[in-house]
Chain A
Amino acid sequence: MELHILEHSLKVASIAKEGIQICTHGLIKLAFLPSKTRCKFFSLTETPEDYTIIVDEDGFKELPQSEYLSVADATWLALNVVSGGGSATSSQPIGVTKIAKSVIAPLADHNISVFMLSTYQTDFILVRERDLPMVMHTLSSEFTLLRVVNGETVAANCSGVTNGFVKPKLVPRPIIHPLSSPSNMFCVTSLDPDTLPSVATLLMDVMFYSGGGKEAGAQNEDSGHIRFFSFSLIEGYISLVMDEQTTRRFPNNVLFTSASGELWKMVRIGGQPLGFDECGIVAQISEPLATADIPAYYISTFKFDHALVPEENIQSVIGALRTNESTGQ
């Protein structure tokens, strides 16, 4: 297995819903006019609370400084797991489940806080730049570490320093934060970048206007629906997460759909903003799912975390997590 440490230096920011107008110019540029910026990594996730932006340094310059924009005070690096072997082993389990045991759990054991971003194409594990030596040390036994420098992939050698690193404490990970499961179902999809201009206005509408205002969002939440939309444009690849109703607004054949047309349900983690320092949250969720062989997507936002699991599995997921919760308490 190979672990690629990508060269993007990422910022994680939150834009308050009421302040989105002042940022739309920059966001539209980042999302729809990639040739006009040098940005290679852009993700926008709308939750009922705010907009979470993950963007590299070049892209960050496009955003205006304002009171509505709060930025996590760290630079993040994206890690990407590549199954270098290319073996024709079973494709299940997929996504976060696959890397839960090999990456997420060891990092949690070493008290490294991670920020997850799953896309249609792959999963990115974001770690703080300052944690990198520790990350490399932790994962070097399991992975071939490769670092991308100026577009070239080179072997990253682990410093080999083991002194000073805290011994991992191997404790069971109970689920601490409250969970909720909205009733709407989601699609994880993508589209051909060439067709992006044709649906750009629709996407802008979905991103910035179709929330129906704060009150509407609040109502939706009450009725078990959640306002959740994610758009990312990373190294030229587009990934979209939206609920089923929203997909119906798109013309036929624009969105990529899987042959099986699978739909996903969400598990939302956190009752109050989770912050960035607490570690082990992703591990708490992903490990039980991995044990149960349930595929999942995991999207962290500024305030809360979101896991997506197949609709047919939602009950067993809730069950598994609840068990974990009770054993923890």
Chain B
Amino acid sequence: MSGSKPDILWSPHHADRYVICDSELSLYRIGAVGTSEAKAGALPLSQETAATLLAINSDTPYMKCVAWYPKHEPECLLAVGQANGRVVLTSLGQSHNSKCKELVGKEFVPKHARQCNTLAWNPVDSNWLAAGLDKHRADFSVLIWDISSKYSPEAVPAEKLRLSGDADSGMVVTKPLYELGQNDACLSLCWLPRDHQKLLLAGMHRNLAIFDLRNTSQKTFVNTKAIQGVTVDPYFPDRVASFFEGQVAIWDLRRFEKPVFTLTEQPKPLTKVAWCPTRMGLLATLTRDSNVIRLYDMQHAPTPIGDETEPTIIERGVQPCSESVISSFAWHPSTQNRMVVVSPNRAMCDFTVFERISLAWSSTTSLMWACGRHLYECTEESGEGGAAEKDIATKMRERAQSRYGHDTVQLWRNHLLAGGNDPHLRSLWYTLESLMQQYTEDLEQRQQGNKQSLIYAGIKNIVKSSSGTTETRRCWKGSDRPTDVAQYHSEERSLALQLCGWISRGPEIDVEPFLRSLEQEGEWERAASVALFNLDIRRAIQILNKGASAEKGDLNLNVVAMALSGYTDEKSSLWREMCSSLRLQLKKPYLCVMFAFLTSEPGSYDAVLYESRVAVRDRVAFACMFLNDNQLPRYIDKLTNDMKEAGNLEGVLLTGLTKDGVDLMESYVDRTGDVQTASFCMLRGSTAEVVKDPRVQCWIENYRNLLDAWRFWHKRAEFDIHRSKLDPSSKPLAQVFVSCNFCGKSISFSCSAMPHQGRGFSQYGVSGSPTKSKVTSCPGCRKPLPRCALCLMNMGTPVSSCPGKSDEKVDLPRDKKLAQFNNWFTWCHNCRHGGHAGHMLSWFRDHSECPVSACTCKCMQLDTTGKLQPSDYV
């Protein structure tokens, strides 16, 4: 601190008081803005706080440094180091305090005058005050004064006091308790909190030295340039920061030979370096004429190990009071991360450093973040009535738990496993169900390879290959009136209708079963429109009537039925005119398209085809009936592209599980993130081209990772099994082999099928030794396998895993036993003892040490994955 630039000191015990010292000492109290007594003359420090000047002390000129008495009593006692080396005790606003009175005004005078650079109270023995002085050729640079020492007349002859200019010589002390550091200057010093008898000095001769007052002739020291402002980390008593010009060095007192690390050098000389007293490992530095306080967060380096490890430090700058230059700052002693900053013109600013936020997602949608000492958790609201849709991760997790995707017999049930409330998934699984049905029926009935691929390929490809279309003009059912509506038929169109679910297999086009099923489900409007599209107005009217009279039926359906019964094909009729305009006001899409169909010109059914609220399968079926060979592929192409763009799973009906289907699924995953559905769906695609698509592999891998992250290891295994059934190429190859200690060959039977081992094994295999021994001995050299440390039986490999071997080797009762995990080999990588997995697991349930006597290896504790528990139990 120099005389002109103000410095700032917090009271060690009053969290609301601080002192600004420049040419005089000013005591301030900080308080909230607007508190009663703070009104008059309060200086605003921030939006919430203001400071009130309590007292000014200008008794001590030539101040160089100030230190606040660390104990509660007497409060507000300050030691002031002056330019001539004297240390004066003074006080602020405490005139009534008797104990203080005794001390205030006491002076400690060095033999030879020179500047006092630094002061430090001993944290334990608070009578001790260390003063660091500039160098004098014949004097010590560190003087430790005892403030309670009485004036001793023999120490200072009266005539020698002529220069002290102090009438009350009783207040002058000239005999220090200790003197240290001859012929050197002390620029900075601090007491070591671990041992209050020890003092760390930074001297002029470029060294840092630790003195022990119990034996002052010995010191530990290190040569360094960084000798200004030594300060001990309050949270880590062996960590010390010291600086020199623009550089800060961090020391570990236990390895004092060289700095643990140095911080990036600042272009301007540093003026203050201070550890945050409320936050571990946070160091603030200030350079001259700067408006930025740099903060170094050393959270990640509490104990640096080894010489070369460079600990991670996060550096950032804070600008507490916009553009104005900072003269000094002081951390608040108790409020976290708070500081008061003072500018050269004494403008002050109360400032809280905002804590870095570290954030972590859990694998189960909860979010946590830490800010300062607070930990916040944000979890998804699981309330049933929650309006917000659940996150896809939560959905997938729940679906994984309900075994979604695993129903391979009734594919449509998977949408129920998924919760049954997602229309997209419902449509998808029904589509896949029908695709699969067609596929299997095809296989059974025709055994013709040429059409199989088409069926999984979706309607788009089916209609493309359409040929031999016949055009018919049918009459309205139950009337002789011919219609001018052309209908088209072909084998492929029928197939498409089947896939859409309108008709069942067979040569006839009979929608009656479909209509009945729709009626059963109460989808009256849809049933009516399907009936209408099959030119059966009477049936449609009948359905509507039924719908109106059904439980909770909509009576409006009767009105619609009435309107429908008035149908006339007269082009200019009032009916037609009114229907075509009023149909737009109908809320139900199926009712709307019914009238659109009736009022549209033959061959142009855009109002039906592009009514997006109508299910894709119905629109496609409609298109297959009423569009000619030119219009149909164009319409299907357009619809397919729309579906792909929107990522609408209904489009799978069109694309099938082809490349197109992957494109569609890609945009679905992009939109929803639902890799689960994508994985299960595409695995059914089974053509190599589809499953090998990198996107599909990516979804599958991501889904497996998700299951791992949720610790759904059983689900993962199930998924892998499911996957390998549908995609045999995904079966993982054996990666770990157990080799025989004697011959070095793999002992697993499956490996013995490999050519290089085959000969040796078959040679021994027929040599007629008992089957039992083969299981527990090496198939290569017949030597016994190691024994289990617990049951002392030789371990063995399950024979069942040896496919294609002669039957005599299969020991059936053992087979089942061996196939279980309990009989697997397991051993500790550390002590190399092991045994049957089941035995080992049960042993370590009750013990921590290895079962082999005299082995103290804590095998299970070394196994980090052994401690993880799956979150899904089967």
A residues near B (Cβ < 8 Å) are 2, 4, 81-83, 85-88, 91, 94-95, 118-123, 146, 148, 151-154, 189-190, 192, 194-195, 237, 252-253, 256-261, 295
Check if A91 sits within 8 Å of B160, measured CB to CB.
Answer: no
Q: Is B486 an interface residue (CB 8 A)?
A: no
Check if B115 sits within 8 Å of A152, measured CB to CB.
Answer: no
Check if A195 sits within 8 Å of B137, measured CB to CB.
Answer: no
* Docked pose: A81 CA to B135 CA in angstroms: 13
Check if A151 sits within 8 Å of B135, measured CB to CB.
Answer: no
Chain B residue, CB-CB nearest to A148? B206
Task: Please give, as numbers and ranges, the residues of chain B lying within 8 Å of A258 by CB-CB distance.
Answer: 111-113, 163
Task: Please give, as numbers and ranges, the residues of chain B lying within 8 Å of A118 by CB-CB distance.
Answer: 137
Chain B interface residue number, banded: 35 or more
A-B pairs with the 7 shortest C-beta distances? Answer: A94-B138, A256-B113, A192-B83, A258-B112, A121-B135, A87-B217, A261-B163
Q: Is B472 an interface residue (CB 8 A)?
A: no
Chain B residue, CB-CB nearest to A91? B138
Check if B219 sits within 8 Å of A86, measured CB to CB.
Answer: yes
In the complex, besides A121-B134, A252-B165, 11 extra interface pairs with C-beta distance below 8 angstroms are A83-B182, A86-B184, A88-B178, A94-B138, A120-B114, A122-B135, A152-B206, A153-B206, A256-B112, A258-B111, A259-B174
Check if B217 sits within 8 Å of A190, measured CB to CB.
Answer: no
Per-residue A-contact encoding for B102-115, CB less than 8 Å = 1, 0 else: 00000001111111
Task: Please give, as numbers and ranges, the residues of chain A lying within 8 Å of B156 by CB-CB distance.
Answer: 259
Q: Is B139 an interface residue (CB 8 A)?
A: yes
* Docked pose: A94 CA to B182 CA in angstroms: 11
Task: Please give, as numbers and ranges, the residues of chain A lying within 8 Å of B139 by CB-CB distance.
Answer: 91
- Pairs A–B under 8 Å by Cβ, sample size 25: A81-B183, A82-B183, A82-B184, A82-B205, A86-B211, A86-B217, A87-B216, A91-B140, A118-B137, A152-B206, A192-B115, A252-B165, A253-B84, A253-B165, A256-B84, A256-B85, A256-B112, A257-B113, A258-B113, A259-B110, A259-B113, A259-B156, A259-B160, A259-B174, A260-B111
Within the complex, the shortest CB–CB distance from B365 to chain A, in Å, comes to 57
Within the complex, the shortest CB–CB distance from B211 to chain A, in Å, comes to 7
Check if B209 sits within 8 Å of A86, measured CB to CB.
Answer: yes
Task: Please give, as numbers and ranges, the residues of chain B lying within 8 Å of A256 by CB-CB distance.
Answer: 84-85, 112-114
Task: Please give, as numbers and ranges, the residues of chain A lying within 8 Å of B174 by CB-CB distance.
Answer: 259
Q: Is B299 an interface residue (CB 8 A)?
A: no
* Docked pose: A214 CA to B449 CA in angstroms: 128
Q: Is B587 an interface residue (CB 8 A)?
A: no
Check if B84 sits within 8 Å of A192, measured CB to CB.
Answer: yes
* Docked pose: A9 CA to B109 CA in angstroms: 37
Task: Please give, as numbers and ranges, the residues of chain B lying within 8 Å of A94 by CB-CB distance.
Answer: 137-138
Check if A253 sits within 8 Å of B62, measured CB to CB.
Answer: yes
**Residue among B4, B114, B137, B207 with the most chain A CB within 10 A?**
B137
Check if B205 sits within 8 Å of A257, measured CB to CB.
Answer: no
Task: Please give, as numbers and ranges, the residues of chain B lying within 8 Å of A151 by CB-CB distance.
Answer: 206, 225
Q: Is B100 an interface residue (CB 8 A)?
A: no
Check if A192 sits within 8 Å of B62, measured CB to CB.
Answer: yes
* Docked pose: A166 CA to B544 CA in angstroms: 131
Known A83-B183, A253-B84; judge A261-B223 contact (CB<8 A). Answer: no
Q: Is B297 an interface residue (CB 8 A)?
A: no
* Docked pose: A122 CA to B4 CA in angstroms: 29
Within the complex, the shortest CB–CB distance from A262 to chain B, in Å, comes to 9
Check if B138 sits within 8 Å of A295, measured CB to CB.
Answer: yes
Q: Is B164 an interface residue (CB 8 A)?
A: yes
Q: Is B74 an interface residue (CB 8 A)?
A: no
Known A153-B207, A192-B62, A257-B163; judge A86-B180 contact (CB<8 A). Answer: yes
Within the complex, the shortest CB–CB distance from A312 to chain B, in Å, comes to 13
Check if B162 sits within 8 Å of A261, measured CB to CB.
Answer: yes
Q: Is B517 an interface residue (CB 8 A)?
A: no
Task: Please give, as numbers and ranges, the residues of chain A lying within 8 Å of B424 by CB-CB distance.
Answer: none
Within the complex, the shortest CB–CB distance from B249 to chain A, in Å, comes to 13
Within the complex, the shortest CB–CB distance from B501 to chain A, in Å, comes to 87
* Docked pose: A261 CA to B109 CA in angstroms: 13
Q: A4, A87, A190, A252: which contacts B114 (Cβ < 8 A)? A: A190
* Docked pose: A209 CA to B206 CA in angstroms: 39
Task: Please give, as numbers and ranges, the residues of chain A lying within 8 Å of B85 by CB-CB distance.
Answer: 256
Give the number of residue pairs across the A-B interface with Cβ within 8 Å: 113
Chain B residue, CB-CB nearest to A86? B181
Task: Please give, as numbers and ranges, the residues of chain A lying within 8 Å of B219 by CB-CB distance.
Answer: 85-86
Task: Please give, as numbers and ranges, the residues of chain A lying within 8 Å of B137 by CB-CB distance.
Answer: 94-95, 118-123
Q: Is B2 an interface residue (CB 8 A)?
A: yes
Chain B residue, CB-CB nearest to A235? B204
* Docked pose: A122 CA to B207 CA in angstroms: 17
* Docked pose: A259 CA to B174 CA in angstroms: 8
Task: Please give, as numbers and ranges, the residues of chain B lying within 8 Å of A146 by CB-CB distance.
Answer: 223
Task: Please give, as numbers and ranges, the residues of chain B lying within 8 Å of A295 by CB-CB distance.
Answer: 138
Q: B83, B135, B136: which contacts A194 (Cβ < 8 A)? A: B83
Q: B160, B178, B179, B181: which contacts A261 (Cβ < 8 A)? A: B160
Within the complex, the shortest CB–CB distance from B161 to chain A, in Å, comes to 8
* Docked pose: A79 CA to B46 CA in angstroms: 54
Known A4-B205, A195-B83, A253-B84; judge A259-B178 contact (CB<8 A). Answer: no
Check if A259 sits within 8 Å of B211, measured CB to CB.
Answer: no
* Docked pose: A22 CA to B163 CA in angstroms: 39
Known A121-B134, A151-B225, A261-B162; judge A86-B62 contact (CB<8 A). Answer: no
Task: Please give, as numbers and ranges, the residues of chain A lying within 8 Å of B114 by CB-CB distance.
Answer: 120-121, 190, 256
* Docked pose: A209 CA to B3 CA in angstroms: 31
Chain A residue, CB-CB nearest to B138? A94
Task: Please give, as numbers and ranges, the residues of chain A lying within 8 Å of B2 by CB-CB distance.
Answer: 194
Check if A86 sits within 8 Å of B84, measured CB to CB.
Answer: no
Task: Please give, as numbers and ranges, the residues of chain A lying within 8 Å of B110 by CB-CB distance.
Answer: 259
Task: Please give, as numbers and ranges, the residues of chain A lying within 8 Å of B84 by CB-CB distance.
Answer: 192, 253, 256-257
* Docked pose: A260 CA to B113 CA in angstroms: 10
* Docked pose: A106 CA to B4 CA in angstroms: 48
* Docked pose: A81 CA to B85 CA in angstroms: 23
Task: Please give, as numbers and ranges, the residues of chain B lying within 8 Å of A252 by CB-CB distance.
Answer: 165
* Docked pose: A202 CA to B137 CA in angstroms: 26
**Residue among B113, B139, B185, B205 with the most chain A CB within 10 A?**
B113
**Residue among A83, A121, A146 with the most chain B CB within 10 A?**
A121
* Docked pose: A83 CA to B207 CA in angstroms: 13
Task: Please give, as numbers and ranges, the residues of chain B lying within 8 Å of A122 by CB-CB distance.
Answer: 135, 137, 183
Chain A residue, CB-CB nearest to B161? A259
**Residue among A81, A82, A252 with the most chain B CB within 10 A?**
A82
Chain A residue, CB-CB nearest to B84? A256
Task: Please give, as numbers and ranges, the residues of chain A lying within 8 Å of B207 by CB-CB distance.
Answer: 153
Check if A88 sits within 8 Å of B180, measured CB to CB.
Answer: yes
* Docked pose: A38 CA to B209 CA in angstroms: 29
**Residue among B138, B140, B181 with the most chain A CB within 10 A?**
B138
**Residue among B109, B134, B162, B225 with the most chain A CB within 10 A?**
B134
Chain A residue, CB-CB nearest to B137? A122
Q: B134, B162, B205: which contacts A153 (Cβ < 8 A)? A: B205
Within the complex, the shortest CB–CB distance from A79 to chain B, in Å, comes to 13
Check if B217 sits within 8 Å of A88, measured CB to CB.
Answer: yes
* Docked pose: A122 CA to B301 CA in angstroms: 42
Chain B residue, CB-CB nearest to A188? B137
* CB neighbors of A among B429-455 (8 A): none
* Docked pose: A240 CA to B762 CA in angstroms: 106
Check if A259 sits within 8 Å of B163, measured CB to CB.
Answer: yes
Within the complex, the shortest CB–CB distance from A220 to chain B, in Å, comes to 26
* Docked pose: A223 CA to B196 CA in angstroms: 59
Chain A residue, CB-CB nearest to B184? A82
* Docked pose: A291 CA to B580 CA in angstroms: 130
* CB neighbors of A among B46-87 (8 A): 61-62, 83-85
Task: Please give, as numbers and ranges, the residues of chain B lying within 8 Å of A95 by CB-CB distance.
Answer: 137-138
Within the complex, the shortest CB–CB distance from B289 to chain A, in Å, comes to 14
Within the complex, the shortest CB–CB distance from B828 to chain A, in Å, comes to 52
Chain A residue, CB-CB nearest to B219? A86
* Docked pose: A116 CA to B318 CA in angstroms: 51
Within the complex, the shortest CB–CB distance from A241 to chain B, in Å, comes to 12
Check if B162 sits within 8 Å of A259, measured CB to CB.
Answer: no
Task: Please give, as numbers and ranges, the residues of chain A lying within 8 Å of B183 by CB-CB distance.
Answer: 81-83, 122
* Docked pose: A154 CA to B2 CA in angstroms: 31
